Amino acid sequence: MRFVPYLYEIERLWLSLVNYLSPRKNKNRRCGEIDKIRMVKKGGTKRKIAIETIQKSDYLRVTCTKRREGLFSKASQLCLLSDAQIAILATPPTSESNISFYSFGHSSVDAVVSSFLSGQRCVPLQEDTKEMREDVAICLSRTNLGLGFWWNNESLNKSENPQEISDAINSMLTLLSNLKELSGEEALVNDHKDLKKNERSDVVLQHGTQYETLNPNSNTTTICCVPDELPANSNEIVGISPNPLIMLEKKKSQIEEKFEKEWQVSVTRIENEATSSYAKRRRSI
Amino acid sequence: MDSSTSTKKNTKLFVRNQTCFKKSSLSSSNAKKTTNLSMREQTMFKKALELSTLCDIEVCVIYYGRDGKLIKTWPEDQSKVRDMAERFSRLHERERCKKRTNLSLFLRKQILHDKKLSEKVLEMEDSLESGLRVLQDKLLLLQPEKNQTELGQSCAVYSTTYPLSSPSLIEDHQHQQQWTEPLSNTE
C-alpha cells in the first residue's frame, strides 16, 4: 500500500526529464505540422510541367495532339467573339513524315496566308453571312460563349421589311433541318458505342456456355430503337417532310445487317477453336 | 492562367469603335465571365509558345482584326512567319487539304464529343420553332398591309406577283431536300 504513490512520483519525474532533455524534437514536430497545414491550404496537388522539350516520343506525340487541339479551340473562341481572321500553321513532330502541315483558319487558311504574303489587308467578314447563320455548330458554340441566338436579335424582331423576314425564315428552316440531321448523327454515335459494348459482353459470356446454344437472333433485339415519329403539328408548322426519319430507319437496317455479319464471323471463329482444341486433346490421349 | 478576370457589360450591339465584343442584351445576365480581348490574345500566343517548345515543332499564328488589318503574328519576327507561309503555299493542293480545318468543321467535331449536346439541341430547337412562328405571323400581317398600300398606289400587278413568291420559296426548299436524299443514299 505504501509503495503506490512512490511509483506515481517516479513516473512524473521521468516524463519531466524526457521533455526537458528533448526540446528540439518537439519543435521539429511542430514545424512539420505547420508545413502540412500550409500544404493543405494550398488546395489540391496539381502541378505544372516545366516547359521543356519532351524526350519520349510517345509522350511527345500525345502532348502534341492535345495541345494543338487546345490552341485551335482558343483561336476559334477569339474568332467568334471578335470577328477576327486567324490562321495557324503547325509542323508535325519529326516521327510523322507523311503529313506536311496541320492548319486551322478562319475565314480560310489559304485566304489569310495569301493576303499575308502579298502584304495586303484581308477582306473584312460580313457580320451575318448566310453560311454562318445556317451552321448549327457555330450557333451552339456562340451560346456557350454567352452570345445569344441570332434570331432573338432585337433589330430583326423590330424590322418591318418583308424581304428580310422571309430570308430569316428560310435560313431558320434550313438550320432546323441541319439540327435534326446533327441529332441523328449523335444517335448513331451512341448506338455504335452500345454495339461495341454488347459485342464484348456477348463474346465473354459465350466462352463459358455450350456452343450449341448460340442464338444470334436473340441478341439483335438489344439494338437501340429509333425515337418515335414527330407529332403532326410540328410537321405542319415547320413545313418539312419526315425525310430524316426515313434516313434514320435505313441507317438502322444497315447497322443490323453489319451486326449480324460480325456475329456470324465470331461464331465461326469460336467453332473452329473448339474443334481444334478437341482434336488436340484426342491426340494427347 | 487567367487569374485576373474582368467582365465588361456592354449592352450596345455592333458598335465597332467602342467595343470589340458583341453581346446581346438578353443573354448578358446569363453570360459567362468573359476575359478581356487582350488577355485572350495573350493566352493564344502563350499556348503557341508552349506547344512549340514542348513538342519541338514549328508553329506560326497570323492574326487579322475585324477590319482586315494585321494585328499580330507569332513569332513576332515576321521573316520566320513569312518563310513558313511560303513553304505552306508551295505545297501541292492535296497535301494542304490533308490536315486542314475550318471554323465550322472544327466546332462541329468539338460539339459531337460534348456530353450535354442533346439538352442544348432541344433548347435550340424550341427557340427556333418559337422564333419561326413569330416571324411567320409577322410576315402574314405585313402582306395585307402592303396590298392595301399598293392598291392605293394603283400598282396591282406587283401585288399579285408578290404573294406567289413566298410559297414558291417553300416549294424550292422542299425540292432541295428531295435532291439531297439520293446523295446520302449513295453514301
Q: How far apart are CA A172 and CA B131, in angstroms?
A: 9
- Tell me which of A142 and B23 has the higher pLDDT: A142
Reading across the β-sheet that carries B70-74, which strands appear in turn?
B70-74, B59-64, A85-90, A102-106, B100-102
- Express each pLDDT in B58-92 by its tens digit: 999 999 888 888 888 888 888 999 999 998 888 88
Long-range CB contacts (within 8 A, 24+) of B104-110 = B104/A131, B104/A135, B104/A137, B104/A138, B106/A72, B106/A73, B106/A76, B106/A104, B107/A76, B107/A135, B107/A137, B107/A138, B107/A140, B107/A141, B108/A135, B108/A136, B108/A137, B108/A182, B110/A73, B110/A137, B110/A141
Does the CB of B110 have a partner CB in chain A at under 8 Å?
Answer: yes
Class of domain B30-97: alpha beta
Domain positions in chain A are 55-125, 128-185+245-284
Q: How confident is the model at residue A273 (pLDDT cuts 50, 70, 90)?
A: confident
In chain B, % of residues over pLDDT 70: 58
In this complex, the residue of B57, B89, B106 whose CB is nearest that of residue A104 is B106
Write phi, then psi, for B135 (nearest 5 degrees). Answer: -70, -35
Among B37, B35, B13, B8, smallest CA distance to B24 is for: B13
- Express each pLDDT in A226-253 by its tens digit: 444 444 444 444 444 456 667 777 777 7
In this complex, the residue of A89, A131, A151 whose CB is nearest that of residue B84 is A89
pLDDT at B11 > cutoff 80: no
Give the A window 116-155 contacts with B, CB below 8 Å. Answer: 116-117, 121-125, 127, 131, 135-141, 143-149, 151-155
A86 burial class (0-12, 13-18, 19+ CB within 10 angstroms)? buried
Q: How far apart are CA A97 and CA A95, in angstroms?
A: 6
Cis peptide before A242 (omega within 30 of 0): no
A102-106 and B100-102 as β-strands: parallel, antiparallel, unpaired? parallel
In this complex, the residue of A79, A101, A151 whose CB is nearest that of residue B103 is A79
Q: How far apart are CA B114 and CA B120, in angstroms?
A: 10
Beta carbons of B108 and B114 less than 8 angstroms apart: no
- Express each pLDDT in A121-131 by its tens digit: 878 777 667 77
pLDDT at B48: 93
Beta carbons of A85 and A112 less than 8 angstroms apart: yes
- Express each pLDDT in A34-46 by its tens digit: 444 444 445 667 7
Beta carbons of B85 and A89 less than 8 angstroms apart: yes
Count of C-beta atoms within a 10 Å radius of residue A37: 9
Helix (H, G, I), strand (E, B) or coil at A179: helix
Q: How confident is the model at residue A203 (pLDDT cuts 50, 70, 90)?
A: low
Beta carbons of A100 and B91 less than 8 angstroms apart: yes
Cis peptide before B28 (omega within 30 of 0): no
**Which numeric CATH code is attached to A55-125?**
3.40.1810.10
CB contact under 8 A, B55 and A63: yes
Across the range B148-154, mean pLDDT stands at 48
Which of A41-50, A247-256, B131-140 has the largest mean confidence? B131-140
